[in-house]
Structure 1
Amino acid sequence: MEEALANLNLLNEEEEAFQEDVRTVDHVYSLCLVGCCLTDSVVHFPSLRNTLADLWHPIKGICISDLGGKRFLFQFFHEVDIQRVLLGTPWFFNIHLLLLHRIQPGENPLLVPLNLANCWVQIHDLPPGLMTVSMAEQFGNFLGQFLDYDMSFSSKGFHTFMHIKARLEVSKPLKRKKKILILTDRVIYARFQHEKLSLFCFICGKLGHGESFCPFRTSIEPSKIGFGRDITLWAATRRQSVSASKWLQDADGSD
C-alpha cells in the first residue's frame, strides 16, 4: 500500500506542468529560414555555409546551422536581410535548387515540409490580347501558386511573352503547355519555359536528379529513351495518364 501511494505522488508531480510564454519560444525563429538542397546526394555543409554567407552577405550577419537530415537553419538578425533573400529566390548551391521556408510561429523547423520553390516562367505563343493580369494569375495557379507578373517587358515595348513568378511543388513534373479556348471555336496552346532550372531530368520532367538516376528509366526500354534538342523542349511535364513512350515522343517535338 505504501509503495502504491509513493507511485501516485510521483505521477502527480509529473503532471504538474512548467509554464512558458509561447511568444518567447516563437521569437527564437522569428527571423529564420529552414532549407534543404533538392538532391539525394550528400551536401558538404561547410562549403554550403561559406558559399551562401558570402553570396547573401547580410548587413547584420547570418548564422547557418546544420539541423541534420539534410536540413539547414538560416538565422538572420534584421528583417531587411531575410526579405532580400526571399525576394531573390530561386537560389542554388552546386547546381542544386535550394528550397527555403520562413518559419512561422509554432512551426518545428525539423518537421515543416520543404517541397515548394519559387520560379520565373515565360509563357509563349499567346496573342497580345491575352497578356493580361487575369491570364497571368490563371497561368500561375495552373503551374502552382501565382506570385507575381513582371510587366516590365510591356513598358519597354518588348512584349512577345508573359513573364510570371509562381510557387511550384517540386515533387511534381514541370508543366510544359496549357490549352486555351478563345471564344467558342479557336484553340491555342500556351507554351511554358522555366527559367534557371537546376538539375533536371529529361525523362520524367522532375527537378532534383538527372536521367542517370531517374527511377522511371528502369521501366522503359533503353532503345526508347531519347533526349531533346534543347532544354526548352524538355522543360515540361509528363501527365500521369500519358504513357512514357508517348511523353517522350511529344517532348521530342512531334506534337
Structure 2
Amino acid sequence: MESFALLEGTDEIEDVSERCLVGKILAPKNLNKQAVANIIHSAWKTRASVRISPWNENVYLFQFDDLEDLRRVLEDGPWSVMWSLLVLQPLKSGMVTSELEFRWCPFWVQVHGLPIAKLTRGHGETIGRRLGRLVRVEAHSEGLLLQRNFLRIRVEIDITKPLLQGFILHHREEGEVLGGAGIIVLYKYEKLSEFCYDCGRIGHDHNECKFVSRDEGINSGYGPHMRTATARSLGSSFAPTQRPVGMVKMCTSQF
C-alpha cells in the first residue's frame, strides 16, 4: 500500500471538534433518522441550535453552536432514544471514525442498604471505583452524608459488561474474623434504559441475548428493580484527582 500525505492548509476549514459530540444509540435495529432527530431536539431543549448528522448504524454527529449547551447535555446524561441508550463522547481533533469506541457511559448510581455509619464520601469513592471510572461522589462534607439514606455516585460504566447488582457487606472490627450472612447492598441506576434481564447488558433484551441461555437468565437477579428515579441534586459534589477503573461482579466486601 502506498504512502500518502495531505498537505495542511489546502482545503481545511475551521476546526469545530470542540463543539461536537459523536454518539451511538444502542438499539438492536437501525432507527428512523428523522424520528431520532425530533426526539433529541425535544429532550435536550438547547438554547442555541444543534445540527444532527446521521452517519451509519445508529451513529450520529452533534454540532453545537453553544459550548454551554454541549456541557449541559453531557452533565445531564445518560440519554435514551426510544428506550435505547445513547452513548456520547466528545469529538477529538484528528479522530478516525473507525476508531470510535462507544464503551463507557456515565450514570448516577444510588447505593442502598449501607449502615448509617458507612454513608461517607470515602466509602462512596471506594464503591465508585468498584463500579467503574469514578467521576465524583455527591457530598457536602467530609463526615457522614446524612442528607439521604443512600450514597449517590457519578461513575462511568463499561457497558460492554453486565451491570453490577450490588455486594454483600461484612463488617469486621480489629481482630475479628469475617462471618455471618452479611448485609446486602444494592445498586440502583438513574436514567437506566432498556437492558437484558438475562445477562444484565445494555443494548438488547432477553429475546436477542447471545450471552446466556433462557434457563440461566431466569435466576439472574436482574430486573426493573435496578432502575430508580433521578434524585434531586444536592448541589455539591467531590471530584477525585484520579479515576482508576475496576469492574467486579456481585462480591463480598468489607469496609
Q: Number of residues paired by the alignment?
A: 224
**Alpha-carbon contact 1:147-1:165 (below 8 Å) kept:** yes
Distance 2:70 2:227 in 1: 33
**Worse-matched range after superposition: 173-182 or 126-135:** 173-182
Pairing 1:177–2:166 present: yes
Pairing 1:196–2:181 present: no
Q: Call closer, same or farther: CA 1:155–1:125 in 2, change over 3 Å.
A: closer
Task: Give the structure-1-normalised TM-score.
Answer: 0.74
> Structure 2: 5+ residue runs without aligned partners?
229-246, 251-255
Match of 1:213 in 2: 208
3-state SS of 2:24 partner: strand
Q: Call closer, same or farther: CA 1:18–1:204 in 2, change over 3 Å.
A: closer
Cα deviation for residue 178 of structure 1 reads 2.6
3-state SS of 2:87 partner: strand
Task: Write out per-residue CA displacement over residues 6-51 of structure 1, whole angstroms, 9 at most, x where no aligned residue.
Answer: xxxxxxxx97854316xx6782322100001112212111111122
**Alpha-carbon contact 1:26-1:106 (below 8 Å) kept:** no
Identify which of structures 1 and 2 has the higher relative contact order when contacts are C-alpha pairs closer than 8 Å and 6+ apart.
2
Match of 1:167 in 2: 156
Distance 1:233 1:16 in 2: 52
Distance 1:168 1:234 in 2: 15
Selected match of 1:231 from 224, 227, 242:
224
3-state SS of 1:20 partner: coil
Distance 1:204 1:234 in 2: 16
Q: Call closer, same or farther: CA 1:121–1:228 in 2, change over 3 Å.
A: same
Cα deviation for residue 149 of structure 1 reads 1.8
Q: Kindly provide the amino acid, as one letter, of the partner of residue 164 in structure 1.
A: I
**Alpha-carbon contact 2:117-2:144 (below 8 Å) kept:** no
Match of 1:44 in 2: 32
> Structure 1: 5+ residue runs without aligned partners?
1-13, 241-255
Cα deviation for residue 208 of structure 1 reads 1.5
Cα deviation for residue 96 of structure 1 reads 0.6
**Alpha-carbon contact 1:173-1:238 (below 8 Å) kept:** no
Pairing 1:59–2:54 present: no
| C-alpha RMSD of the superposition | 3.5
Distance 1:164 1:173 in 2: 18
Cα deviation for residue 52 of structure 1 reads 0.8
Pairing 1:102–2:107 present: no
Task: Give the structure-2-normalised TM-score.
Answer: 0.74
Greater fraction helix: 1
Q: Call closer, same or farther: CA 1:229–1:136 in 2, change over 3 Å.
A: closer
Cα deviation for residue 126 of structure 1 reads 1.1
Task: Write out per-residue CA displacement over residues 164-218 of structure 1, whole angstroms, 9 at most, x where no aligned residue.
Answer: 111101110011123444434355443211222211211111111111111135x
**Alpha-carbon contact 1:36-1:114 (below 8 Å) kept:** yes
Cα deviation for residue 133 of structure 1 reads 1.5
Structure with greater Cα Rg? 1
Q: Kindly provide the amino acid, as one letter, of the partner of residue 79 in structure 1.
A: L
